[in-house]
Structure 1
Amino acid sequence: MPRRVAAAALGLLVLLATGCTAQRHWGGNAAGDGEARIGLVTKTDTNPYFVALRDAAERAAQQRGAEFSALAGQFDGDNDGQVRAIENLLQRNVSTILITPNSSTGVLDAIDRARQAGVLVIALDTATEPAEAVDATFATDNREAGRKQGAYVRAALGERRPQLLMLDGTAGSTVDTYRHDGFLDGMRLAPGAPEIRGAQNVNGDQNLAQQGLENLLARTGGINAIYTMNEPTAQGAHTALRAHGTAEEVTMASIDGGCEGVREVAEGRLAATVMQFPAKMAELAVDAAVQHAENGQRPTGFTDTGSVVITDDPVPGVPSNPVSWGRQHCWGDR
């Protein structure tokens, strides 16, 4: 009889221990314990923009005494890779997940599971749809950045009627959609306008952009403007234009504001770029994560981290800063 009682007691202890383990895994994410454990999930770990964002988040976490882990998808658009990264971070018992979603909708189920587990989820750079799928978003107003880009190109064309090719990003991404729509607004063109001579999704990738523009140029001529959704796209586009012999005939601006992109502006391969500030996104998000761990406060809504046109050829009606300012505030390798 004593052996049966002892066995039952041991079994109860095992159950309690198992319950405590589960509670530490899920309930350990509860806010207010003072320990900030931050996980970052970026689209890739190769794009210089996301590298800069990751490095800024890691520095900010170290300064605030927070634990930090960083994971990424294998390529732009790798939703499954980001889902696995979120699950991995939940296993590590993080208190906050910062994520640059590959798709505005592709990782929502995983985000929902994290939030139900008590994890604070903050989107960086890329908004989700709906926006309420995350607790808060710290990002560039991408529609406004695209509008600035388009307004600059339209003004730089002067009296010439636009003959435009568009190199878009990843289909379904809010960043791509907002920049595309904002650019057309700045160009004063409606979707489907005859001035738009062709478009192709190139996933923000330099090599795909080069191939995509080569294909578009083979089908149409007389182009005087090109939309590029980011600076790697612009670099690939410039290579294609140079091979085509039309680089000097085309006005091309971009969005990012990396130091390499600023050099592209200085050297004339880009007319302008719209700088965004990934370090600011990362720093604000880490501060919010630490505050959440300390007192349970959750950030809400959208915070615009700003954008600035960088060019040494300013145009009327489009505020801008010179390349010298851009070199002082750019991100990435200087």
Structure 2
Amino acid sequence: MKHASRTRRVLAAAVGLGLAAALTACSDDAAGDGSVLVGLITKTETNPFFVKMKEGAQEAASEHGVTLQSFAGDYDGDNAAQVQAVENIIASGADGILITPNDSAAIVPALEQAAAAGIMVIALDTPTEPADAVDATFATDNFLAGELIGEWAQKRFEAEGVEPRVAMLDLNPNQIAVDVARNQGFLQGLGVDIADENQIGDEDDPRIVGHDVTDGAEEGGRTAMENLLQRDPDLNLVYTINEPAAAGAHEALKAAGKADDVVIVSVDGGCPGVENVESGVIGATAMQFPLEMASMGVDAVVEFAESGQTPDPDEGLDFVDTGVELITDEDIEGLESQDSAWGLEHCWG
């Protein structure tokens, strides 16, 4: 992403002043000396993942003595509110924008306007489409997160001499980048061939019972699990896009009298999910670190404001890896992991 000359303060005066009051979901979360301004835009204000992300940004902003303004969509998928937030931040003359896109493609024109105003833009957690619409993406390696739980499941079932029959509980029909990466990583870890690099999986493999969507919610996980149990009552392995969906899947399995016969694996690392690892509801999860994403993002904006230096992503990927850890209380030989006690010390939400 190319930057225009740094004339944001002048630009702010030229942008409609009504924008400053137009978006009610804004707050000055850390008030610095006014020399550096960071805008944070999350998908929602209620998801614990984004609550923790906001906390990370607040802590980093306070440490640097810079001003942080935060915004959020009203619901997951609310692109209009995020576009308005970008416009508001441009009007404020910010140095940088940190954003978790609700719509990876639809948000790009607004981010291009920010870049033209000389503002550095970093995507957190969810990449834009195309990825180079921002200066960098600070996120979990979602393919690796899926691969870790897939490899754990594969080795566990192999040790028992059991062929997995897999139900896959995805996010939504749109197959966003996070959904695709986690699915494909899981399938590769499990040893399933991936037919199309742009799709979430290959249902032609006899081990895959089928896919259903959850919207990343507990109720969605319950419904999806009920649907896939009707398709194959003998399934024995469940992949879920996140831990709320895993909790819903467990409730459906329990209601069907199958909770003890099915292994669930997931991705997130939220405290309720790690507690479910500890209790045996989830066999293994991959922990991500939203606080780290946001604090690293603030650090990068401060560096940019002071020196003009943009992040140095992994070569050719426009991507900065913020870490992932396999959390399980069932150790698998040859596979590094942390137990639930460690997970509870490092979880979020």
TM-score interval, normalised by the smaller of the two chains:
0.7 to 0.9
**What's the counterpart of residue 167 of structure 2?**
165
**What's the counterpart of residue 325 of structure 1?**
342
Q: Which string of whole-angstrom CA distances, capped at 9 and with x for unpartnered residues, describes residues 272-323 of structure 1? A: 1111111111111111111111222222431111111111111123211111
Q: Which has the larger Rg?
A: 1
Task: Kindly indicate whether residue 307 of structure 2 is the aligned counterpart of residue 305 of structure 1.
Answer: no
**Richer in helix (by share):** 1
Distance 1:187 1:106 in 2: 34
User: What is the count of residue pairs matched by the alignment?
Assistant: 307
**What's the counterpart of residue 14 of structure 1?**
none
Structure 1 residue ranges without an equivalent (≥5):
1-19, 27-32
2:260 partner SS: helix
1:320 partner SS: coil
Distance 2:244 2:238 in 1: 14
What are the residue-to-residue correspondences of 1:10-89 with 2, within 5 Å? Answer: 22=11, 24=13, 35-89=35-89
1:227 partner SS: strand
Task: Kindly indicate whether residue 290 of structure 2 is the aligned counterpart of residue 288 of structure 1.
Answer: no
Distance 2:255 2:116 in 1: 53
Question: Structure 1: which amino acid aligns with 2:171?
Answer: G
Distance 2:63 2:129 in 1: 32
Q: Following TM superposition, by how much is the alpha carbon of 1:209 offset from its aligned partner in structure 2, in angstroms?
A: 1.7
**What's the counterpart of residue 27 of structure 2?**
none
Asked if structure 1 preserves the Cα contact closer than 8 Å seen for 2:11 and 2:91, the reply is no
Q: Which string of whole-angstrom CA distances, capped at 9 and with x for unpartnered residues, describes residues 142-173 of structure 1? A: 10111001111122223211111111114242
Moved more, 102-111 or 49-58: 102-111
Q: Which string of whole-angstrom CA distances, capped at 9 and with x for unpartnered residues, describes residues 212-235 of structure 1? A: 222222332111011111111111
Larger relative contact order (C-alpha < 8 A, sep ≥ 6)?
Answer: 1
Distance 1:50 1:327 in 2: 18
Distance 2:12 2:285 in 1: 49
1:147 partner SS: helix
Question: Structure 1: which amino acid aligns with 2:248?
Answer: G
Task: Kindly indicate whether residue 228 of structure 2 is the aligned counterpart of residue 216 of structure 1.
Answer: yes
1:200 partner SS: strand
**What's the counterpart of residue 211 of structure 2?**
199
Normalised to the residue count of structure 1, the TM-score between the two structures is: 0.87
Asked if structure 2 preserves the Cα contact closer than 8 Å seen for 1:265 and 1:273, the reply is yes
Equivalent of 1:187, from 190, 196, 207?
190
Asked if structure 2 preserves the Cα contact closer than 8 Å seen for 1:104 and 1:172, the reply is no
Normalised to the residue count of structure 2, the TM-score between the two structures is: 0.83
Q: Which string of whole-angstrom CA distances, capped at 9 and with x for unpartnered residues, describes residues 75-119 of structure 1? A: 222223322222232233322110111233231111111111211
Asked if structure 1 preserves the Cα contact closer than 8 Å seen for 2:12 and 2:91, the reply is no
2:149 partner SS: helix
Asked if structure 2 preserves the Cα contact closer than 8 Å seen for 1:103 and 1:172, the reply is no
Distance 2:182 2:143 in 1: 5
Task: Kindly indicate whether residue 142 of structure 2 is the aligned counterpart of residue 130 of structure 1.
Answer: no
Identity %: 45
Structure 2 residue ranges without an equivalent (≥5):
1-8, 16-32, 194-201, 314-318
Distance 1:95 1:310 in 2: 37
Asked if structure 1 preserves the Cα contact closer than 8 Å seen for 2:169 and 2:225, the reply is yes
1:128 partner SS: coil
Question: Structure 2: which amino acid aligns with 1:143?
Answer: F
Asked if structure 2 preserves the Cα contact closer than 8 Å seen for 1:157 and 1:251, the reply is no
Question: Structure 2: which amino acid aligns with 1:241?
Answer: L
Question: Structure 2: which amino acid aligns with 1:306?
Answer: G
Q: Which string of whole-angstrom CA distances, capped at 9 and with x for unpartnered residues, describes residues 157-192 of structure 1? A: 232111111111142421111001101001111222
Distance 2:339 2:12 in 1: 54
Distance 2:152 2:74 in 1: 34
Distance 1:23 1:230 in 2: 40
**What's the counterpart of residue 23 of structure 2?**
none
Distance 2:307 2:295 in 1: 18
Distance 1:206 1:44 in 2: 17
